[in-house]
Chains A and B, each alone.
Chain A
Amino acid sequence: MRYDALILGAGMSGLGAGIRLAQAGKRVAVLERHYLWGGLNSFYKRAGRRFETGLHALTNFVPKGVPNVPLTRILRQLRIPHDALRLAPQRHSKSALRLANGETLQLEYSNDLARMRASVARLFPAEIDGFERLVAALPGYSDASESDRTTSARVRLAEFVREPRLVELLMIAPLFYGSPTERDMSWAEYGILFRSIHLEGMARPEGGIKALLELLVERYRAEGGELRMRTGVAAILHKDGRVTGVRLDDGTELECERVLSSAGLVETQALCGEPRASEDDPRIGRLSFVEVCCVLDRAPLELGHDTTIVFYSDSERFLYERPETPVEPRAGVITCPSNYLTSVPDAEPLVRVTCPANHGFWTGLDESRYADEKARAVDAMLATAESFSFPIRPHTVFRDSFTPRTIERFTGHRGGAVYGSPIKRRDGQTDLRGLELIGTDQGLVGVVGALLSGISIANRSVLAPSGGVA
């Protein structure tokens, strides 16, 4: 019994790849170590309540029928009608930058670029022409040049926008939405993220990420795909430079033609037998987060907060980096799932706050101090977040939080690196024939990007059934 393909991880990329391969009539199994689907975009239960991980939003939102954009393309490939996602668009979101004098600059945007234009014009009237030129010059999804991939986004932005505070504001959301590198990203990546967030937009599936995952699992099974939960892969087996199968945690060996791994670059190489990389290996991403979810006694709207997502920087220099301290409360994201234009309000409103954190601190922490340190970090985060939103703590009836340690444990990503390695393999290729990377380390981010990653690599597998190129 030999599989055409085994897929490591039932996250967005693994399920996307699985659906495509099953549609093509391939014998395929998705192997997931955890008992839940989703990977970096998942959900969990705590004290009878369901919480989600990730930023709650789907970027790349477009209404039904808009051609030649990522969302339409992935829905087509997965054979999911747009209506089935029941996407609720955002109200509006903003990036906020607090200056040294205490003043806060707020750049507002929605799924209509006009709102962002107006906001730029209001904040920096002299920069609006530069902003328009910037939008026109953004690299596209697939036409970025080699120099776009090696040029700094900050350097390019400064060519269009003279005001450094506007450059900082324009970096906040794209960095938070998916940069595996600190402070800056390439111009090519910036183009993709700006398009995903600002030219297309943000929405949330009714029922949250769980509903989307259920839809994907249902599609996958309907196409005849096999899904094995609580099935961890201990090793990828290979001979003479070519994949032969995998060995599961329980010792069982499965034979296959090819392996698509969403485990991550360094994690996949470890499964192939490479010695465990040290914590400071440059292939391990440095960005991880502490996230807190607060259940509220009333909706944020009733508290005067109508923003869907606030990306904030409490310092003039946006500190998107691994902090020396346990957590960096001065850089964060506040998301309110009930602030989408939804017709199905959540049973209990909640708000979540996410800030960069120091992975080594949280994994090295003695168990007896973990809970106290977490409570302290979360209090510091909420204190700053409140200055960009509304009084969260007085209205919190229950809260749950997680740290880089939790992220690493449940996703297997070294460093708890939510956006993976700074080194991306855009073609998914590895040194082994028949082994390909999908997911975050193939370089596409967000829910839509991850699905696209799995789909595109699976498509290539289907089109090159003999085992592909080395």
Chain B
Amino acid sequence: MTRDEIVLAIKDIIATIAPDEELGGLELEVRLRDQIELDSMDFLDIVMELRKRYGVQVPEEDYMQLATLKGCVDYLGPKLESKALVLTALKG
């Protein structure tokens, strides 16, 4: 996956767990929680989906790294390098 694809992968996961949120204008370097309604349970769901879709384990001490979309790309980049993008909510 490229960096752009990782952004798409994260947006697709958020679109899956939060179908009522508008994701079009998400900024890369602003905390996700400041842009959309996400609580700690939603955050665990994001981690859960990363495991289900890509087999990526994110230990609890690394959750902070996923606070922004850019953080996600930096942290997940090496882990997702060889994986193919899975889209479920943002198809088409």
**A residues at B contact (CB < 8 Å):** 23-25, 64-65, 67, 72-73, 75-77, 79-83, 459, 462-463
Contact = CB atoms under 8 A, between A and B. Distances in A.
Given A23-B48, A24-B48, A25-B52, A77 B41 contact: yes
A463 B44 contact: yes
Interface of B: 16-20, 37, 39, 41-42, 44-45, 48, 51-52
Nearest to A20: B45
B20 A64 contact: yes
A76 B16 CA distance: 9
Given A76-B18, A79-B19, A459 B52 contact: no
Nearest to A64: B20
Specify which of B17, B19, B44, B51 lies most central, judged by the most chain A CB atoms within 10 Å of its CB: B19
A67 B20 CA distance: 11
B17 A76 contact: yes
Contacts of A72: 37
A137 B57 CA distance: 44
A81 B44 CA distance: 19
A80 B17 CA distance: 9
Contacts of A67: 37
A432 to B, nearest CB: 26
A82 B17 CA distance: 13
The residue in B18, B37, B44 that gathers the most chain A C-beta atoms within 10 A of its C-beta is B37
Contact of A79 (B17, B39, B41): B17
A462 B44 CA distance: 10
The 6 closest A-B pairs by CB, nearest first: A81-B19, A67-B37, A25-B52, A82-B20, A81-B20, A24-B48
Contacts of A463: 44
Contacts of B19: 79-81
Secondary structure call for the A interface: helix
A72 B37 CA distance: 10
A379 to B, nearest CB: 47
A392 B64 CA distance: 61
Nearest to A83: B20
A23 B46 CA distance: 11
A69 to B, nearest CB: 11
Contacts of A24: 48
Contacts of A65: 20
B17 A75 contact: no
19 contacts: A23-B48, A24-B48, A25-B48, A25-B51, A25-B52, A64-B20, A65-B20, A72-B37, A75-B20, A76-B18, A76-B20, A77-B41, A77-B45, A79-B16, A80-B19, A81-B19, A82-B20, A459-B41, A462-B48
Contacts of A77: 41, 45
A25 B37 CA distance: 24
A66 to B, nearest CB: 10
A82 B37 CA distance: 14
Contacts of A75: 20
A72 to B, nearest CB: 8
Nearest to B38: A76
Contacts of B45: 23, 77
A75 B42 CA distance: 12
Contacts of A76: 17-18, 20, 42
A219 to B, nearest CB: 11
A211 B52 CA distance: 29
